[in-house]
A and B are shown apart, each in its own frame.
Chain A
């Protein structure tokens, strides 16, 4: 009898202990250093919210989306998960995300001080099904050692794309004189629109898509001029490594130390920081229609089938608040969405000493990376066709026509 009582007591105790602690899962894509940062955020959240435990789970980009879809299809979604803004509509339109508007109504003023352009991506006709977590703008990275060796002035905000091309020509070298280029003036990832060609099209006065994302507009005269400029620089002048040349050194030409200039968002800073060469950043060059860059955000969403939506919301609220954002800013991968944090020492005085405010100032001339249902399919349809320009299987005009045809077919399939 005594034994039975003790067992019952133990059972009761463990049951109450389990009830006292609600566990939620936060899943995202990211590197090990991000896992550390998010664990720090989770621990500081738990300290403020006794009774809620946050499990932080990370995977690399490709397996993240695969896992997420399988978990969703299996009916066991994570409570909170990270969203790439362009892909948001793919999930939101299929009714698997929780509408956060009722929670936002109960927390008036919570979105004050969040950069409006980052909120725009998540706004729908019936409210917010997600909120921005952090954002990225694209800037020009340059290798100071290579500029110094060539006795050239560093890029500044007066630069045009033509200045970039002229300077790239002086920095494209065959250093060991074996007849093969081993240093290129410029490099950027050219498949997705975000790092390079979106900004190029915009600064030449073109558009990428119509506002309803029903038509691909990159074969307009302005956009064609932008791609022609890149083609001249890449295929005629050979100032960028071809993708096959680049593969010999890795996937990031600037990181590999073979390109004097490169385009990227803030996400590369922790990787670039320990490199042996000295580097700095400048705003993107101006085009015939002015200066442009793209802004994209990662966000938080809550699964509609989450068993603990209230606790999940508490975590989101904390992470986009002053404290959570300051904690995240220290990792140095992205830019805080909260203006007060982006203008505070937490973000501006990071370990890597560059002018971090440049990424924030870029918002003044930034275009939002498009957010629509079928982004990945459209981006792949367009990217596959554009790649044929860069491998010289197609002319600029033919490649753009193919990109528009394939891109529009992808858009139609997702209507």
Chain B
């Protein structure tokens, strides 16, 4: 079954600009391209450059060689942040991808009020993480919290949701909840592009629901799953807002410092922009390597 090419590329050809039109396209794209070149690439190169210096923001940067990188393994505040981010990502990425796929499949049907359901699932994605984070704080609160009130209503002992033992899981739940909406939209778009005939054919062949999922839906969605995995991984490594709101401690610190928090704190509070830049480069490198792995996996999966 040639499901891999169902979305076809042939129709795209006619959209390619020709002759003089090409110059106009370039001209109109220029502002965006320049912004991208100066803003994004500029700051990437600046960050890489700064990571080899000691810069405190107040005096000119001084060359430090690889010192900022070789110091990182011994920096316990960085190690802790790295560990927290990895543990968070291992749980967050698969949960987010699988759950948003399941939700998308559940919402991919023509029933009354389906638009309403889709809006409901998408709502967290458009809310301010600060506001919803505070709401979750109240849900997780030890004595007056919604969750513990429910627990005691059924006679269960109350749980310290944001205490050291449960905090990681509680924080993952909130982040997954916040991310399902965005993932669902991607998967829903992918699902709706699968031609109905595929399902009709497999049904005629006597395939079960599970077989239809295995041989039609998943292969057809492979590009979306790949895209969503990469995006979710990037988000996981950059996770900050919900986690910070839920685990704040005194003087603007956190009981679950993440990499992004560590980068901010090293650079802007500890006068160590060079170190912060090195941490940012390490973060980017990890995301880059993982993205390569996904590419390899997708290729391999596509071949079989």
List the B side residues contacting A69 at CB < 8 Å: 57-58, 268, 271
Query: Contacts A69-B58, A387-B249 known; A377 to B163 CB distance under 8 Å?
Result: no
A409 to B76, Cβ gap below 8 A?
A: yes
| CA distance in complex: A243, B250 (Å) | 9
Report whether B257 and A376 are in contact in the complex, using a CB–CB cutoff of 8 Å: no
Interchain CB contact (< 8 A) of A244 among B142, B265, B270? B142
Do B250 and A191 have beta carbons less than 8 Å apart? yes
**Interchain CB contact (< 8 A) of B58 among A94, A182, A191, A391:** A94
Among A91, A180, A377, the residue within 8 A (CB) of B270 is A377
Q: How far is the CB of B66 from chain A (nearest CB, A)?
A: 16
Contact in complex: A66, B56 (CB < 8 Å)? no
Contact A191:B253 (CB < 8 A) given known A90-B271, A244-B162? yes
Question: Do the beta carbons of B250 and A66 come within 8 Å of each other?
Answer: no
Min CB gap A94→B, angstroms: 4
A383 x B253 contact (CB < 8 A): yes
Q: Cβ of A376 and Cβ of B250 under 8 Å apart?
A: no
Q: Is the CB of A62 within 8 A of B252?
A: yes
- A73 CB–B CB distance under 8 Å: yes
B60-97 to A contact mask, C-beta < 8 Å, 1/0: 00000000000000111100100000000000000000
Cβ-defined contact, A94 with B59, below 8 A: yes
CB of B58 within 8 A of CB of A91, answer: yes
- Range of interface residues on chain B? 20 to 34
Q: Is A247 an interface residue (CB 8 A)?
A: yes
Do residues A405 and B76 form an inter-chain contact, with CB atoms below 8 A?
Answer: yes
Chain B residue, CB-CB nearest to A182: B143
**Nearest B-chain residue to A381, judged by Cβ:** B77
Quick check: B250 and A192 within 8 Å, CB to CB?
yes
Contact B163 A391 (CB under 8 A): yes
* B160 at the A interface (CB under 8 A): yes
- Which B residues from 142 to 180 make CB contacts under 8 A with A? 142-145, 160, 162-164
Which B residues between 190 and 211 are near A, CB-CB below 8 angstroms?
Answer: none
Which residues does chain A contribute within 8 Å of B57, judged by CB atoms?
69-70, 72-73
Contacts of B137 in A (CB 8 A): 247
Query: Nearest chain-A residue to B148 (Cβ)?
Result: A180
User: What is the chain B residue whose CB lies nearest that of A90?
Assistant: B271
Bound: A244/B256 CA distance, A: 14
A139 to B56, CA, bound (A): 36
Q: For the complex, is B103 an interface residue (Cβ under 8 Å from A)?
A: no
Q: A383: which of B75, B145, B162, B250 is its contact (CB, 8 Å)? A: B250
B76 touches A380 (CB 8 A): no
Q: Which of B56, B162, B268, B269 contacts A380 (CB 8 A)?
A: B269
Inter-chain contact B251/A379, CB cutoff 8 Å:
yes
State whether A248 touches B141 (Cβ < 8 A). Answer: yes
- Would you call B255 an interface residue if the criterion is a C-beta within 8 Å of the partner chain's C-beta atoms? yes
**CA A381 to CA B268, docked complex, whole Å:** 15
Cα–Cα distance between A50 and B77 once the two chains are bound (Å): 52
Using Cβ atoms and an 8 Å threshold, which residues of chain A touch B76? 405-406, 409
CB contacts (< 8 Å) of A243 on chain B: these are 249-250
Does A96 sit at the interface, judged by CB under 8 A?
Answer: yes
Do A180 and B143 touch (CB < 8 A)?
yes
B-contact bits for A227-261, CB 8 A (1 contact / 0 none): 00000000000000011110110000000000000
A247 to B57, CA, bound (A): 34
A156-180 at interface with B (beta carbon < 8 Å): 180
Distance, CA A73 to CA B267, complexed state (A): 13
Partner of B77, one of A248, A392, A406: A406
In the complex where A94-B58, A180-B143 touch, is A192 in contact with B251 (Cβ < 8 A)? yes
Q: How far is the CA of A72 from the CA of B60 in the complex (A)?
A: 11
Q: Are B249 and A380 in contact (CB under 8 A)?
A: no
Q: Chain B residues near A62 (CB, 8 Å)?
A: 252
B142 touches A248 (CB 8 A): yes
A212 to B253, CA, bound (A): 26
- How many angstroms from the CA of A135 to the CA of B82 in the assembled complex? 39
Min CB distance B57 to A, Å, is: 5
Residues of B within 8 A of A376 (CB): 269-270
| Chain A residues closer than 8 Å to B143, beta-carbon distance | 180, 182, 245, 248
Of the listed residues A65, A70, A73, the one surrounded by the most CB atoms of chain B closer than 10 A to its CB is A73
Across the two chains, which residue of chain A brings its CB closest to B248?
A247
Task: Assess the A96–B58 pair: CB atoms within 8 A.
Answer: yes
Q: Taking the nearest CB of chain B, how far is it from the CB of A272, in angstroms?
A: 19
Task: Using A72-B58, A242-B142, A247-B141 as known contacts, say yes or no to A380 and B253 having CB atoms under 8 A apart.
Answer: yes
Q: Residues 380-398 of chain A: 1 if any B CB is under 8 Å from the residue's CB, otherwise 0?
A: 1101100110011100000
**A189→B255 contact, CB < 8 A:** no
Roughly how many angstroms separate A140 CA and B251 CA in the complex, as a whole number? Answer: 21
Say yes or no: B265 contacts A380, CB within 8 Å: yes
**Of B75, B255, B257, B268, which is in contact with the most chain A CB atoms at under 10 Å from its CB?**
B255
Task: State whether A66 touches B268 (Cβ < 8 A).
Answer: yes
Q: In whole angstroms, how far apart are the Cα atoms of A413 and B67 in the complex?
A: 12
Q: Which residues of B are found within 8 Å of A65, using beta-carbon distances?
A: 268-269
Q: Tell me, yes or no, whether A111 is within 8 Å of chain B by CB.
A: no
**Cβ of A413: which chain B residues have Cβ within 8 Å of it?**
272
A190 / chain B contacts, CB cutoff of 8 Å: 250
Q: A91-B58, A384-B77, A391-B163 are in contact. Are A374 and B270 (CB under 8 A)?
A: yes
Instruction: Give the interface centre of B74, B80, B251 by most chain A CB atoms within 10 Å.
Output: B251
Extra inter-chain contacts (7) besides given A377-B272, A391-B164, CB under 8 Å: A244-B141, A247-B137, A248-B143, A248-B144, A383-B250, A387-B249, A393-B164
Q: Which B residues contact A (CB, under 8 angstroms)?
A: 56-59, 74-77, 80, 137-138, 141-145, 160, 162-164, 248-253, 255, 257, 265, 268-272
Pick the 8 closest A-B CB pairs, nearest first. A191-B250, A377-B270, A94-B58, A393-B164, A73-B57, A69-B57, A248-B141, A180-B143
Pairs A–B under 8 Å by Cβ, sample size 26: A62-B252, A69-B271, A70-B57, A72-B58, A90-B271, A94-B271, A191-B250, A191-B251, A244-B142, A244-B162, A247-B141, A247-B248, A248-B138, A248-B143, A248-B144, A248-B145, A376-B269, A377-B270, A377-B271, A380-B77, A384-B77, A384-B249, A384-B253, A391-B163, A392-B164, A409-B76
